[in-house]
A and B are shown apart, each in its own frame.
Chain A
Amino acid sequence: MSASFPTDAAAQVAQLWPELWLAAGIPAVLVADMLLPTAKKVATAWLGIGACLAAAIAACSGAPGSIEGMITVDAMTPFVRCLIASLTALLLVLGTGQRALADRGAHTVCVLGVALGSSIAAVSANLLPLWLGLEMVSLGSYGLAAWKGGDRRAAEAGMKFVLFGGLASACTLFGMSHVYGLTGHLDFVGIGAAFANMPVVALAALGLVAVGVAYKLTIVPFHFYAPDVYEGAPALSVAVVGLAPKVGALVALARGVQLAVPRTLAGPEVLGTALAAAAGASLLLAAFTALAQRDAKRILAFSGIGHAGTAVLALACLPAEGALRAALLQVLSYSVATLGALACLAVVEQDRGSCRLEALRGLGRERPWLAALLCVFLFSLAGVPPLAGFFGKWVVLQQALGFGFGGARSAVGVAALLLVLSTALSAWAYLLVVRAVVLQPAAEPARPSERVAMPVVVVLAICGAAVLAIGFWLDRCVALLA
């Protein structure tokens, strides 16, 4: 990192427009929340949506570049930032459809904070901004997990989230300080250069840093909080906590793997094997444990663990061209399907107070359209062919099978086999939900249900269209990512 002040400071700050828009949204929402009467607090959510859309537009028009040793904007970044900002905008739209949402202004601030943190994590080329981005995600998501006032289970979810999250964050920080002590650098490129002359053991410090990233990605063995948080937290919060942060953490992991691990060392082999092992363990655990669940949100939590494993499997092939593209396509298809499924479950949660499989019974009769869409999203997650999820898994599998880099080859091969196996197994868990929704009659006679709020319909339509479109225009989606 150079000590001199950059002469083209304005040009460097311009790299950060998307993050600046999100950051500007936060005080704007806070002030609006203070000034608006209670009946009009919904406007704060629309302000947040405006900030997200501005960030998405700024992300698309940004050119590649960097802020020395801190931020890197590369060819993938516009897509990643755009995905994070548009997911967040959709979530805020979804929030406007919930009339009973408590403390709307603060909710919008937390959602924007999570988006900002994810975005910063995705562009950082230095451990310090990466850690700050992850912490920004954490602080917002801890609060959101418990966003159901007076609810015991939501409070417990928040507490588990904050205690385990703090542990992961402390491990990351401890590892970071060792990396700094060993190399004298915090920026990825400097770390990579300094590590090139060190024994492989030194990579353990980087492994400690990866704990915090793996926690956000819910990779085995740092996944254990996810099912409880997904079950206890309201469905809307689950969507905030589980989607954008995963995109940010995945890109941060990819950048760390590419830059901070030197090529000269046994690095790529050790790393590829470690990533493939983590991916395989995540896939296997998610597939088997999901079968025993009796709550739709818990099943989605294990689905998230499995899909994170799939994305990490793509990263295990990283020196190969197209690995990052495969991971991003996978995470895109996962995000839209999960957002749609959680939007459906949020409606169910409002109607029936729970997402347990018993509570889902008879949904097909009561709300046929919603039930049909929920099934489409679940089939996409299961990997049924014409839908997005199938292609997400397909590109990763293709990548893993075509992988030919020495030491890590067999590990990647085994993990690819596990991907196929776990896809078949976990389809059964999704079918449990579909069975409850479509086949089983409700325990009580159907209640006269309210119409689904307009914003929710809009979000469901967008997600449904995306799930179909990604499948039908796969070539274009891949080209878009290139």
Chain B
Amino acid sequence: MDEFGPHDLASYLLVAVVLFCAGVLAVATRRNAIGVLIGLELMLNAAALQFAAYGHFRALPNDSQGQTAAVFVLVVAAAEAAVALALLFAVYRTSKDIDLEQTQELGS
């Protein structure tokens, strides 16, 4: 297996795609809002990994946009998780539950 080693772009992309799909699966199937949130974090980190991998293997000399983007992703993902957890806490305080099917009230 030549194209799947620690020195090949393909192996990093494979890991990223698996992470992203796991995230999508979690978002689609989890009923607990925290589970959905974890799925979102997986998806964001898959993208960050891909940025770093492309930045390492594909970028022109003196081009660090891939790595820069990966760092930005980390910061924004942390900020988003903080806001999301605050909102989940607000939901929990008002309905004593964060099950996405139990908290449905809008749209009726």
A interface, CB within 8 angstroms of B: 1, 3, 128, 131-132, 135, 138-139, 142-143, 146, 150-153, 155-160, 162-163, 166-167, 169-171, 173-174, 176-178, 180-181, 184-186, 227-228, 231-232, 298
- In the complex, the answer to whether A152 meets B40 with C-beta atoms within 8 Å is no
B25 located at the interface, meaning its Cβ lies under 8 Å from any Cβ of chain A in the complex? no
Contacts of B53 in A (CB 8 A): 181
CB distance from A153 to the nearest CB of B (A): 6
Most buried by A among B48, B80, B104: B80
CB distance from A229 to the nearest CB of B (A): 8
- In the complex, the answer to whether B54 meets A174 with C-beta atoms within 8 Å is no
- In the complex, the answer to whether B106 meets A232 with C-beta atoms within 8 Å is yes
CB distance from A38 to the nearest CB of B (A): 22
- In the complex, the answer to whether A139 meets B50 with C-beta atoms within 8 Å is no
Contacts of A163 in B (CB 8 A): 27, 33, 36-37, 40, 84
Q: In the complex, A128→B76 CA distance in Å? A: 12
Which B residue sits closest to A129, measured CB to CB?
Answer: B72
Residues of B29-62 at the interface with A, using a CB-CB cut-off of 8 Å, are 33, 36-37, 40, 43-44, 46-48, 50-51, 53-55, 58-60, 62
- In the complex, the answer to whether B43 meets A170 with C-beta atoms within 8 Å is yes
Contacts of A138 in B (CB 8 A): 80
Q: In the complex, A227→B43 CA distance in Å? A: 26
CB distance from B106 to the nearest CB of A (A): 4
Q: In the complex, A170→B44 CA distance in Å? A: 5
CB distance from B36 to the nearest CB of A (A): 5
Contacts of A152 in B (CB 8 A): 91, 94-95, 105
Q: In the complex, A138→B79 CA distance in Å? A: 11
- In the complex, the answer to whether B105 meets A153 with C-beta atoms within 8 Å is yes
CB distance from B96 to the nearest CB of A (A): 10
CB distance from B46 to the nearest CB of A (A): 7
Q: Is the interface of B mostly helix, strand, loop or mixed?
A: helix
Complex A-B: 5 CB contacts under 8 Å? A143-B86, A143-B87, A146-B90, A180-B55, A186-B69
- In the complex, the answer to whether A170 meets B23 with C-beta atoms within 8 Å is yes
Contact among B23, B69, B98 with A128 in the assembled complex (CB-CB below 8 Å): B69
Known: A173-B44, A231-B106. A128 touches B65 (CB 8 A): yes
- In the complex, the answer to whether B46 meets A180 with C-beta atoms within 8 Å is no
B22 located at the interface, meaning its Cβ lies under 8 Å from any Cβ of chain A in the complex? no
B11 located at the interface, meaning its Cβ lies under 8 Å from any Cβ of chain A in the complex? no
- In the complex, the answer to whether B69 meets A180 with C-beta atoms within 8 Å is yes
Contact-residue bracket for chain B: 35 or more
Which B residue sits closest to A175, measured CB to CB?
Answer: B47
Contacts of B86 in A (CB 8 A): 143
- In the complex, the answer to whether B83 meets A184 with C-beta atoms within 8 Å is no
- In the complex, the answer to whether A139 meets B91 with C-beta atoms within 8 Å is no
Contacts of A180 in B (CB 8 A): 51, 54-55, 65-66, 69
Q: With contacts A142-B83, A177-B54 known, what are 14 further pairs, Cβ within 8 A?
A: A128-B68, A143-B87, A153-B105, A159-B103, A162-B83, A163-B37, A163-B84, A170-B44, A171-B43, A174-B43, A177-B16, A177-B50, A178-B50, A180-B51
Contacts of A155 in B (CB 8 A): 87, 90-91, 93-95
B8 located at the interface, meaning its Cβ lies under 8 Å from any Cβ of chain A in the complex? no
- In the complex, the answer to whether A169 meets B95 with C-beta atoms within 8 Å is no
- In the complex, the answer to whether B50 meets A159 with C-beta atoms within 8 Å is no
Contacts of B48 in A (CB 8 A): 173, 177
Known: A170-B43, A180-B54. A132 touches B76 (CB 8 A): yes
Contact among A132, A162, A173 with B87 in the assembled complex (CB-CB below 8 Å): A162
Contacts of B95 in A (CB 8 A): 152, 155-156
CB distance from B63 to the nearest CB of A (A): 7
Contacts of B60 in A (CB 8 A): 184
Contacts of B68 in A (CB 8 A): 128
- In the complex, the answer to whether B37 meets A166 with C-beta atoms within 8 Å is yes
Which A residue sits closest to B28, measured CB to CB?
Answer: A167
Contacts of B50 in A (CB 8 A): 174, 177-178, 181
Q: In the complex, A159→B63 CA distance in Å? A: 38
Contacts of B76 in A (CB 8 A): 132, 135
Most buried by B among A169, A171, A173, A178: A173
Contact among B46, B62, B88 with A174 in the assembled complex (CB-CB below 8 Å): B46
Closest 6 CB pairs of A and B: A170-B43, A181-B54, A177-B50, A173-B47, A166-B40, A152-B94
CB distance from B4 to the nearest CB of A (A): 17
Which A residue sits closest to B80, measured CB to CB?
Answer: A166
